[in-house]
Structure formats: C-alpha cells, structure tokens
Amino acid sequence: MGMNINLTPHLEEMVRQKVDSGWCTSASEVVREALRLMEEKHQLLGAKLNQLRCDLQEGLHSGAPRHGIQRKSSAPDGPDAKPRLRMVRKCPSSLRAHVPKLILIKSGIPS
C-alpha cells in the first residue's frame, strides 16, 4: 500500500542523512524503523504505567505507613517475598508478563 507523507524540512533532512549514511537503504525503511521504535516506546511506557498501578495498589493495601527506612530484599525468597507474591497474584494476568520470571517461577504462578 502506497502512502504520501509530508515532512518538515528538518525531518526530511534526517531521513536523507540516514539513507546517505547507509543506516537504511530507503526513505521507506527509515520511516518503518521510526514507527517500530515508536511502537516499542509506547509498549514500554504502557508496561511501566501498569507496573506503577500495581505498585500503587500494593501501597494502598499495605496498611498504615511505618516510620523509618526499610530496605527491601530483591531476592524472590527474601523476607518480603510473600507480600510481593500476593501483589503479583492480585495483578491481572496481562501484567504478569512484566514481573521478573524468577519471582513467578519461585512462586509457582503461571506467567
């Protein structure tokens, strides 16, 4: 499917430079790569947003704030493993793809 796209002079020059440098073989390839990178960026931002939502829910359900600073263990079998696993179980299955695999394996939660 063909498509005509109008670019600003700056963007047109960027496309030309990518082709001239050999980074891409055509202007179409530059646009395809740019769109692929844009889609990847949006997926990563969506995953981060979903993780923030899960973290927020975990915080809201964790009870009253505690005084002082506590270090969380990053090990899946550390002292905070059970609360983290409970949080993972509460997250929708679509978000579990963004939870480290080791945590899921240790917990027996299907990914």
- How does pLDDT run across 31-40, given as a tens digit for each residue? 999 999 999 9
pTM of the predicted structure, to 2 decimals? 0.50
- CA 22 from chain centre, in angstroms, equals 30
Q: Domain tally for the chain?
A: 2
Domain that holds residue 22: 8-62
Higher pLDDT, 59 or 77: 59
| Averaged pLDDT, 26-51 | 94
Tell me, yes or no, whether 1 lies in a domain.
Answer: no
Tell me, yes or no, whether 3 lies in a domain.
Answer: no
Tell me, yes or no, whether 40 lies in a domain.
Answer: yes
CB 31 within 8 A of CB 15: yes
Based on the fold, state whether residues 55 and 81 are members of the same structural domain: no
Q: Which regions of the chain does DSSP assign to beta strands (E)?
A: none
**What is the pLDDT at residue 59?**
83
Higher pLDDT, 50 or 80: 50
Q: Phi first, then psi: what are they for 34, rounded to 5°?
A: -65, -40
Q: Is the dihedral of CA 69, 57, 61, 106 positive or negative?
A: negative
**What is the pLDDT at residue 99?**
53
Based on the fold, state whether residues 81 and 37 are members of the same structural domain: no
CB 30 within 8 A of CB 37: no
Based on the fold, state whether residues 56 and 86 are members of the same structural domain: no
* Joined tokens for residue 86: 């409970």
Based on the fold, state whether residues 58 and 21 are members of the same structural domain: yes
Range scoring the smallest mean pLDDT among 12-16, 32-36, 72-76:
72-76
